[in-house]
Amino acid sequence: MSELISLAANGTGLVVETGPGLPRVLHWGADLGPVDEDFVLAGTPGVPPSSVDTPIRLTLLPTSRDGWLGRPGTSGHRAGSFQHVRPSLLGPVVVDGSSVSYTAADPVAGVEFHTELHLDPSGVLRVRHEVVNTGEDTWTVDALRLLLPVPASATELLDLTGRWCRERSPQRSPFLHGLRSRESRRGRTGHDATGLLVAGTPGFGFRDGEVWGVHLAWSGDHEHFAERLPEGLSVLGAGEILAPGEILLSPGSSYATPWAFFVWSDQGLDGLSARLHTWTRSRPTHPSSPRPVVLNTWEAVYFNHDLGRLKALADRAAEIGVERFVLDDGWFRGRRDDSAGLGDWFVDSAVWPAGLAPLVDYVRGKGMQFGLWFEPEMVNPDSDLARAHPDWLLADTLPWRRQQVLNVARPDVYSYLLERLDSLVSEYRIDYIKWDHNRDLMESLVHSQTLAVYRLLDELRSRHPALEIESCSSGGARVDLGILAHTDRVWASDTNDAVERQRIQRWMGLLVPPELIGSHVGPPEAHTTGRVAELPFRCATALFNHAGLEWDLTGLSADDLAALRAWITLYKRLRGLLHTGTVVRSDHPDHGSLLHGVVDATHAVFCYAHLETSPDALPARLRFPGLSPDRRYTVRAVPELLPAAGRFVQQTPWIAAGVTMTGIALERVGVQPPLLGPGQAMVFELTPA
């Protein structure tokens, strides 16, 4: 006898059938309201030719016993036996508000499975499994995956790829028969990580189409996949990738998957973002104070630490309104370049004879917070630590950036790192850590390493509740909701090239809200690409996230300093909107231009960025999405960020005085923008008329 469980939140609906056999999801998508047994009957498939003699049931833990012949929900064995478990429901399915949980067991194989589903008020569905060894000897876990069905109307897939300094590059493909799997065995999320794997209706975009997405909140090896079988079944799934023999459960012990986030929208990709951002912002640990303007010293001084020079940099930073000063790589013992010193977390007395106190006190005297760079999980072979403890390496693999990885899961390594970090944070009352991680893990057991890093972050934060931590991993190689449960910001990319950043931040924002994405104004010539971009464009690009600077301010002209001061004042005025409003992105017809913004009930800010030349002599109209249809808005160009005058800029008549229109007119018809040159942008503020 089957029963139906219907959950709904923020327009998302979930229908679960509780029997016979294991529970299965009959519907995940739009809120359908009440359903009954006719809903089950209407969706019951026939039996295809040359198939099992009963309709195939896609349960929440699908196996070949159910007729599911795709990627299985679970895989494991007991010394080579019981490779195909046959779990049956053990006890009732428990419904608690918007949560569903149950236990299934295979007593012959000696395993139990606990499954949890939570439909959060944002409409985000979180799912997790746990397997428990109830037998008398070791159970080997090979895989435990989270899968949900998607309808046949989802005929296109979107995933993201990338590399160092070009993270989050979109790629589309048809959702055909077979398996589309995005797997990462890098020991960290990866520059090429998809972040969010999306299936959708034909031609879906940022503002249109019905879409289903999945994200695994995990910072180690992982998989996201979409699979469609000829029998008419299609799924999105995710799970941790486990090395052979990595999870060996002794009697009574268990393994729990990371949380998989499943999210649906009938308003395109922006609808997915809105739900995910709402969920992220609802966390008790989400930063609640205004995101301070950061100055990071890396591209200002690199390894050339000198107290006088850094004081002068702090003077300029304080004068223009910087609120947090971060000393990057190069402060610790033996660290004159990136070939030595990692692991020796002691202030280098050769460079800092009085320790860091003279700089820290000077920075605080200027009214700024102080931050410090670490790379705790790594070690240079040329270090006192590696020479003293070669057994502390996670694996002796090919060198990467002339460094190896410490085995943080070892109690002695964990204790050493915690003592060093805690000691330095305590001594200097550090407000902020830039926590870096500059290589992939190879020939390593990643599961225990990842959990140990999470524990280390949590213990440090518990000892210093006001401490904020940024997750940097040679830029954006560790960006996921797993690491963000233990940190306060991510570094989107090691490139400060504003042209590259526009697209990187656009696609990273599918998953991560802007207040958690670090974005800095760098020098005119980008360190990573050599591209030259004007200051207003660089400022406009950094404005829409957690803004900062990475630039030697001591050599700037009075005009440039004044422009930066005006930009920082603008950021401080707008960050309440930028970091709480709804992110919107236009499907602009010119692929060389981007239009994105943030809106709330009465106010909006948009950036129109022109990245490359267009075959059109005049640009297409800008249509501003997400506005209240009947409200009248006045649209004005933000004067602080007007492009530098030049031969590529041709103004339009309304720019000087602004224009007032209804929200529906601005969204459906729009305004004619000026003609910009490549690498130029304009920021528009929309206020109630």
| Rounded Cα gap, residues 114 and 283, in angstroms | 24
Percent above pLDDT 70 for the chain? 99
Determine the pLDDT at residue 429. Answer: 98
Question: pLDDT tier at 95 (50, 70, 90 boundaries)?
Answer: very high
Pick the last residue of a domain from 281, 313, 344: 281
CATH code of the domain covering residue 680:
2.60.40.1180
Determine the pLDDT at residue 337. Answer: 96
**517, 490 contact by CB (below 8 A):** yes
Determine the pLDDT at residue 648. Answer: 61
- Kindly give the interhelix angle for 498-508 and 535-543, rounded to the nearest 10 degrees: 10
Question: pLDDT tier at 46 (50, 70, 90 boundaries)?
Answer: confident
CATH code of the domain covering residue 124:
2.70.98.60
| Catalytic site positions | 436, 494
Find, among 171, 158, 147, the residue nearest to 229 by Cα: 147
- Asked if residue 461 is part of any domain, the answer here is no
- Asked if residue 418 is part of any domain, the answer here is no
SS3 label, residue 516:
helix
Range of the domain at 683: 584-688
Determine the pLDDT at residue 1. Answer: 61
Task: Tell me the pairing of strands 294-296 and 517-521.
Answer: unpaired
- Asked if residue 567 is part of any domain, the answer here is no
Question: Is the pLDDT at 2 greater than 80, yes or no?
Answer: no
Determine the pLDDT at residue 57. Answer: 86
Sign of the dihedral through C-alpha 671, 510, 283, 115: positive
What angle (nearest 5°) sits at the alpha carbon of residue 414, between those of residues 413 and 415?
90
The type of residue at 211 is V
Determine the pLDDT at residue 646. Answer: 66
| Rounded Cα gap, residues 183 and 242, in angstroms | 12
**421, 361 contact by CB (below 8 A):** no
Q: How many domains is the chain partitioned into structurally?
A: 2
pLDDT, tens digit (0-9, with 9 covering 90-100), for 509-520: 999 999 999 999
Rounded to whole angstroms, the maximal C-alpha distance in the chain is 81
Question: Is the pLDDT at 617 greater than 90, yes or no?
Answer: no
pLDDT, tens digit (0-9, with 9 covering 90-100), for 426-452: 999 999 999 999 999 999 999 999 999
- Asked if residue 634 is part of any domain, the answer here is yes
**100, 16 contact by CB (below 8 A):** yes
**504, 271 contact by CB (below 8 A):** no
Pick the last residue of a domain from 247, 281, 315: 281
Question: Taking all residues of the chain, what is their mean pLDDT, rounded to a whole number?
Answer: 96
**173, 157 contact by CB (below 8 A):** yes
Kindly provide the residue ranges of all beta strands, DSSP E only, lying in 600-645, ordered along the sequence. 604-610, 632-637
**From 47-56, 189-198, 256-265, 343-352, the region with the lowest mean pLDDT:** 47-56
The type of residue at 689 is A
Residue 571 DSSP label: H
- Asked if residue 354 is part of any domain, the answer here is no
pLDDT, tens digit (0-9, with 9 covering 90-100), for 112-154: 999 999 999 999 999 999 999 999 999 999 999 999 999 999 9
Question: Is the pLDDT at 638 greater than 70, yes or no?
Answer: yes
Question: pLDDT tier at 51 (50, 70, 90 boundaries)?
Answer: confident
Question: pLDDT tier at 346 (50, 70, 90 boundaries)?
Answer: very high
pLDDT, tens digit (0-9, with 9 covering 90-100), for 272-323: 999 999 999 999 999 999 999 999 999 999 999 999 999 999 999 999 999 9
- Asked if residue 529 is part of any domain, the answer here is no
Mean pLDDT of the 663-668 span? 98
Mean pLDDT of the 341-356 span? 98
Determine the pLDDT at residue 590. Answer: 92
What's the Cα-to-Cα distance from 276 to each of 50, 218, 264, 472, 605, rounded to whole Å? Answer: 42, 16, 10, 21, 21
What's the Cα-to-Cα distance from 478 to each of 182, 321, 493, rounded to whole Å? Answer: 16, 30, 10
Mean pLDDT of the 83-101 span? 95
Mean pLDDT of the 193-201 span? 97
Question: pLDDT tier at 458 (50, 70, 90 boundaries)?
Answer: very high
Mean pLDDT of the 530-539 span? 97
0.75 cut: is pTM over it? yes
Neighbours of 94 (CB within 10 A): 11
Pick the last residue of a domain from 281, 297, 324: 281
| Rounded Cα gap, residues 303 and 300, in angstroms | 10
CA 123 distance to own-chain centroid: 18
Burial of 364 (0-12, 13-18, 19+ CB in 10 A): middle
pLDDT, tens digit (0-9, with 9 covering 90-100), for 542-588: 999 999 999 999 999 999 999 999 999 999 999 999 999 999 999 99
- Asked if residue 84 is part of any domain, the answer here is yes
**26, 16 contact by CB (below 8 A):** yes
